[in-house]
C-alpha cells in the first residue's frame, strides 16, 4: 500500500522549493529541468491520494497447507497480505492460520502495513473479519495515525479484491461467499481509530469500499454497542472455528484500556 509514500511528501516538497534559485538564472531553464522536477515531486502525492487500483499481475499467492476447495465453514481459512512499497508487489498467503513468517523482518515491523483476515461462521452465517494495525508499537505510527487510517480505508477494496482473485477457486466453488458481511477491525493505541466497521457484503466492499454500513454514523467504535456477529457461549455446530485464528484482541475497548494502563506504568 501507499503508507510509505506519506513519509516522502515533505522531502518532495522541499526538493521542489530548492529548485527556485535555478529558475532565476535564465529563461531557458524555465522550460527544461524545473518542469521535470515538478512532475516528479507530484508522484508521491498521486500515489497517496489517487485511485486505488488492483493489478493482478503484481499479486503472488501462496497456498500453505489449505484445501483450495474446502468450505471455510468446515476448515479454518485465513489470509495474510503484505505489500512492498519498493517493488509494488503484493504477497497473499492462504492458510489455516496466519503466516507469521511473512510478517518477520525489520521492514514489516516498522511499516506494519499488513492486513490479516479470517473466515468465520457465526450462528450459521459466514462473515469475513479483517484486521489492520493503525498505531501502537512505536511512536512514528502514532504520529501519522490519521494518515494511516485514511490510507487503509482507501486501499482496503484493493486488498479485498486480492482475496477474491487469489482465492478464486474457493469463490468459484462457493459464489455465495461474496455475499458474506465484511467486518474491519482497526487496531490503534488512539481511541478515535480503535474501532470496528461493517463494510457490508464482500461483493460491494470490493467495488466501492465502505457503504452506508461503514459510515461514521453506523460504524462501531470502541465503547459503543457493536452490532456484529457473536459466537455462542456454549459448544455448538453453528459457529466455526470455536476460537479466533488471529491472535489480536477482538474487544477493542479492552485493547485500548490495556495499552493505556501500560503507558501509565
In-domain check, residue 197: yes
Number of domains in the chain: 1
In-domain check, residue 76: yes
Question: Hunting for cell 504520529 — which residue is that?
Answer: 143
Mean pLDDT value across residues 49-73: 87
pLDDT of residue 227: 66
Distance CA(214)–CA(236), nearest Å, equals: 30
pLDDT of residue 139: 83
Whole-model pTM: value is 0.73
- Looking only at the bridges linking them, the beta strands covering 125-133 and 181-187 are parallel
User: Where in the sequence is the domain holding 105, given as residue range(s)?
Assistant: 56-209+234-262
- The answer to whether 198 and 220 are in contact (CB under 8 A) is yes
Please confirm whether the linkage preceding 241 is cis (ω < 30° from 0).
yes
In-domain check, residue 16: no
CB within 8 A of 209, min separation 6: which ones?
Answer: 153, 154, 156, 157, 199
Q: In what order do the strands lie in the sheet with 78-83?
A: 59-64, 90-95, 78-83, 115-122, 125-133, 181-187, 195-201, 220-221
CB within 8 A of 54, min separation 6: which ones?
Answer: 157, 158, 161, 162, 165
In-domain check, residue 158: yes
* 96-107 per-position pLDDT tens digit: 999 988 888 666
* 190-209 per-position pLDDT tens digit: 999 999 999 999 999 998 77
Output the average pLDDT for the chain: 75
In-domain check, residue 1: no
| 129 Cα distance to chain centroid | 11
In-domain check, residue 155: yes
Q: Which helix (H) or strand (E) holds 129?
A: strand 125-133
Indicate if the pLDDT at residue 26 is higher than 60.
no
In-domain check, residue 220: no
In-domain check, residue 28: no
Amino acid at each position: 500500500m501507499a503508507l510509505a509514500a506519506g513519509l516522502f511528501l515533505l522531502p518532495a516538497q522541499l526538493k521542489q522549493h530548492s529548485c527556485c534559485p535555478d529558475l532565476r538564472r535564465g529563461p531557458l531553464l524555465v522550460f527544461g529541468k524545473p518542469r521535470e522536477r515538478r512532475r516528479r515531486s507530484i508522484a508521491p502525492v498521486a500515489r497517496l491520494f489517487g485511485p486505488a487500483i488492483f493489478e493482478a499481475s503484481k499479486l503472488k499467492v501462496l497456498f500453505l497447507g489449505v484445501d483450495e476447495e474446502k468450505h471455510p465453514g468446515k476448515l479454518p481459512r485465513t489470509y495474510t497480505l503484505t505489500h512492498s512499497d519498493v517493488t509494488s508487489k503484493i504477497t497473499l498467503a492462504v492458510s489455516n492460520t496466519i503466516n507469521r513468517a511473512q510478517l518477520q523482518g525489520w521492514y514489516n515491523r516498522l511499516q506494519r502495513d499488513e492486513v490479516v483476515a479470517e473466515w468465520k461462521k457465526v450462528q450459521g452465517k459466514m462473515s469475513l473479519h479483517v484486521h489492520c494495525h493503525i498505531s501502537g508499537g512505536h511512536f512514528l505510527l502514532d504520529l501519522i495515525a490519521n494518515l494511516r487510517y485514511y490510507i487503509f480505508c482507501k486501499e482496503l477494496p484493493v486488498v479485498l479484491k486480492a482475496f477474491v482473485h487469489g482465492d478464486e477457486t474457493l469463490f468459484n466453488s462457493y459464489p455465495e461467499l461474496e455475499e458474506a458481511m465484511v467486518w474491519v477491525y482497526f487496531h490503534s493505541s488512539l481511541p478515535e481509530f480503535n474501532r470496528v466497521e461493517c463494510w457490508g457484503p464482500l461483493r460491494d466492499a470490493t467495488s466501492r469500499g465502505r457503504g452506508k454500513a461503514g459510515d461514521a454514523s453506523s460504524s462501531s467504535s470502541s465503547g459503543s454497542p457493536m452490532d456484529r456477529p457473536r459466537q455462542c457461549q456454549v459448544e455448538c455446530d453453528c459457529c466455526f472455528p470455536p476460537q479466533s485464528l488471529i491472535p489480536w484482541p477482538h474487544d477493542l475497548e479492552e485493547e485500548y484500556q490495556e495499552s493505556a494502563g501500560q503507558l501509565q506504568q
